[in-house]
Structure 1
Amino acid sequence: MKIRRILATAVAVAVTTPAVMLSVTPAFADTKPDSKPDSRAGTKTAAQTPAKPTVKELEKALAEAEKAHDAAVLAERAAYDAVEAAVSDTAPLTVAAKAARKAADEAAAAKSDADKAVTDAQTALDTLTEEATEAERTAAEKALADAKTAAATAATTATTAEAEAEAAEELATDAKVAAFTALAKAQNATKEALAAVTAAEAALERAKKEEEENPGGGDGDGDGGEGECVDEPGLTTVVKGLPSSVTAGTSTTFSVRVANGTGKDLDKVLTYASVHATDKTGAKDIAKYLKLTWSTTKSPKWQKVDGDLYIDAIGALKDGAQADIKLRLTVDAKTPAGQGLTFIAGDYFNKDGSCGLTPDAAVNEFDIEAASGKPAPKPTPKPSTTAPAAGNGVTPQGSGTSVPATTTSTLAATGSSDATTQLALASGAAVALGAGAMFLVRRRKTGAGA
């Protein structure tokens, strides 16, 4: 039997107050059981097995997904043009900022000249000899007083001009940030729209193939016992003991408890475990430095999570029972400072061909500290944040929170100005409400005896 799930995962990083945020939503799940129904297991009811969409319905869904993707592509192009305009030297706010800066520099120079005039006037007064006439001394004192008045006026003008220049520059920067934020959202929307098209195409292709293989309905095995995998809220995974911060060069042990509250015995339960990480900019994937291994009381030797990111350690799980699995997160000494997360989920399948999966992933966020003596990256400006959207299909665990986030990427080299590229690279997550990376993760387990 195969259990498949495509998970669209958005990882966001807020640079100065790092927090990795994950949104996991099942795009679709399908099964093709290899085993026949077992007389010991029950039969799935209509409530457990949702009705399959028809080929016509799937064709309509694909057309809508393609339409949405086309619109997203156009919106991304417009957002890119807006970025180019925002970083251009001829952008109105940039022109205004440059003019304000020039005025501030000129006012500062005038203040410097006025201060020098005060010094010169004071020197002239101090160097008057006893032979100087009263008129000469009065003139020197007046020159000093006039110089001080002019210096005070110049200082006020310089202070005002500097404040106006800083405000104008801030407006110009905000416009660039807003443009990059909009581009990041548009890029993320395009990726999500493309993922929806891919999922719709796969679902349609699968439905057509099943229709060709089974023109009269049924399941292809002649037993009528095959159905879709279902979301099973009663199968839960809870992570315990994962700290909010780990250090490069160390290992951390924590655990996951899988509980069967489905109201039925489960013939085989599998645990899905994955770890992701980015550096503090959110632009670099550093998951290769992080490794997960597992062990249980019956199998105390530490073992690698398999290539499909599954842990086959529980086996059968009776209704109301629970099982614990130890997990060890090893962080390579070369790992740079950043943020990471784990997400844990559960799947089951029974001998009668029924199967299910946890609708939510248990998400745990943690900071990654560089090894002692390794310089931390320079901080970047703190970005603004957005409120979480409702119904994102995530069960947050541990110290962090789960918030959907936009995904950004560096602008491609398509002739854009150096300022565009430098701003995209240097600002990173800060210019796009926490920029991140999109992961498409396939959950798959093959073979009842695997």
Structure 2
Amino acid sequence: MPYYTKLGQVPAKRHVQFRRPDGALYSEEVFGTEGFVGPTSTLYHIHPPTQVHGWKPLYSTKPEYVETDIMRMRHLKSMPMEPAGDPVTGRVVLFGNADCEMAVCAPKQPMKYHFKNAMGDECIFIHFGRGTVHTSFGTLEFHEKDYIVIPKGVIYRLVFDKPKKGEPNPRFLLIETANGSHIGPPPRYVSKQTAQFLEHSPYCERDLRVPELPLTYDEKGEYEVRIKARDCVHSYTYDYHPLDTVGWDGCYYPYIFNVDDFAPIVGKLHMPPPIHQTFEAHNFVICSFCPRVLDFHPDAIPVPYNHSNLDSDEVLYYVEGNYKARKGIEVGSLTLHPQGIPHGPHPGTVEASIGAKETTELAVMCDTFRPLFPTRAALEIDDLNYPASWQGEHFPHAAGSHAANGAAKATGNGRGNGMKSGRGKTKGKGRRKPSTVVNTWT
């Protein structure tokens, strides 16, 4: 995290005597990264965090990737996936590589244990549901459209409230680091001198929700903590409640950012995807496509231009909005557009977008700088017709209508291409009135 925070009781200096009411010392824990030179927090426990027993391996978490030699567009429909497991065991990895893993989870059961990911940071996007994250740094209340960033090593338990009548069951998207790097705001958003969010950043400190009280659980008993490490989940037993922190301070802690607090950057002409960037880690970025006003040049085309991902694979998770810009896309869909294959608007969507003033889309994008591979679970929900959905004439024209130098030949009616410069409207009768709302997925 980019700034200092404190919660609970801490001594005036680090590494000095800090005693419990009974006179015994609290147990100080330096919770740091990058060999003591990265972001760090210092926690004070009632009990030594080293007192554990009963360790045993439970199950492997190493993804099995398939079709690693096949490069094509993919569309996964995740909503039909049946609820299963709890917020940890119910995670279904769909795409991944050596840098990150992407999973969808629709939990059916509550967590009866606490969990620690000792392999990577987690970015959990809450699609449906609300509840509480109980962590060793305090409590975080969450709801729909929240990004919950849980750094590596944080002990937590994710508890969903029971849905009210008519509400969908809980569901979230998980993006997890697999290369030991950390998820945080892009460096260009943050001052190198003060670690303060800069004026051009689409969000700032005021938008982040940090842990709050209750913080301390002073309880005895047998408590299971499951730890993900070495591509396996291991079970450990504590003789006291693992969330026994009485206070902490530092720059390394879990936090929440709600996507509705993202302030989209707009422009006169179509803006590139980096303006939607929300977080990043080594070799991948996370972006938020939010409702916003569209381009205001009189001849602007609101939907994206065709583009080639020469250095990255792109996954979009569709949260809400009108998906007419993409054929067959629905809530909970994931699309993968791999590097090397151009992609862009589907047939008919470019002309249909002209004149639109705003978009109601909401989608989460993860761009990776190494190829992504699907799992067997992804193949089970893969729409095999999606790669052919760009077929058909986007802009019907008669063959031979262009000269060898690329110039359009005269049509014989003196109107050229039928467009009047500066107006953005096609001459001729019968052209439909453009919609004022359109969706603009890349």
Per the TM superposition, whether the score is higher than 0.5 is: no
Structure with bigger gyration radius: 1
**TM-score of the superposition, structure 1-length normalised?**
0.24
**TM-score of the superposition, structure 2-length normalised?**
0.25
Q: Identify, as 1 or 2, the structure richer in strand.
A: 2
Q: Which has the higher contact order (CA 8 A, sep 6+)?
A: 1
